[in-house]
Chains A and B, each alone.
Chain A
């Protein structure tokens, strides 16, 4: 009987949810300026919907960055002040020929 399964942030589970949401939204697409706003919104909303369906006692923050591939550099870092035993984060980097997507998910227990 594993009690912690229901009340801890499981990185693999969240990582899979994130990858599925990215693939479903932009998996087969090329960068298009007009659609990028819709894409980022859709990715973030799909991830949040899947996370809330897990029914865990967590608050979630999801952040998505999509950048066109044109040679520019990008760095992202995060720092958290929380409870290491219950809270967690997961960052997924994804790319295709025309764009990069970086999605971060933070889960904080209540």
Chain B
């Protein structure tokens, strides 16, 4: 089995900036509405995945997770862990808040040898 190494390693900072832009464009004027947010979260996840593909990283697989929750004084805790190769694999995460909702978008980039 031949193992390849990435020519360019996924850049978390660039990705985080792009995630924040996408969330701001789509959520700055939105309120929390149960029906709308169901399709909105799927739509955002797809947009972010498409944006990741345009960056042109070779041999990277992507997983994008979007969480939208209503701003209602609730307590919420999110934790994630990965079992991967820390030299090639990366994570980018951003949190967007307006007065009605909170959105957490996480992108994982995993290198395929």
Interface residues of A (CB under 8 A from B): 31, 33, 36-37, 39-41, 43-45, 48, 51-52, 59-68, 70-83, 87, 89, 104, 106, 108, 110
* Number of residue pairs A-B, CB distance < 8 angstroms: 144
**Cβ of B45 and Cβ of A79 under 8 Å apart?**
yes
Docked pose: A66 CA to B67 CA in angstroms: 12
Docked pose: A61 CA to B110 CA in angstroms: 10
The tally of residues in B whose CB lies under 8 Å from a CB in A reads: 45
> Among the listed B44, B64, B85, which residue makes an inter-chain contact with A59, where contact means beta carbons less than 8 Å apart?
B85
Docked pose: A104 CA to B110 CA in angstroms: 16
**Cβ of B106 and Cβ of A63 under 8 Å apart?**
yes
Q: Name the distance in Å between A74's Cβ and chain B's nearest Cβ.
A: 4
**Given A74-B68, A108-B63; A79-B46 close (CB under 8 Å):** yes
Q: Name the distance in Å between A60's Cβ and chain B's nearest Cβ.
A: 4
Docked pose: A68 CA to B69 CA in angstroms: 12
State whether the Cβ of B74 lies closer than 8 Å to any Cβ in chain A: yes
**Given A75-B37, A75-B41, A108-B63; A59-B74 close (CB under 8 Å):** no
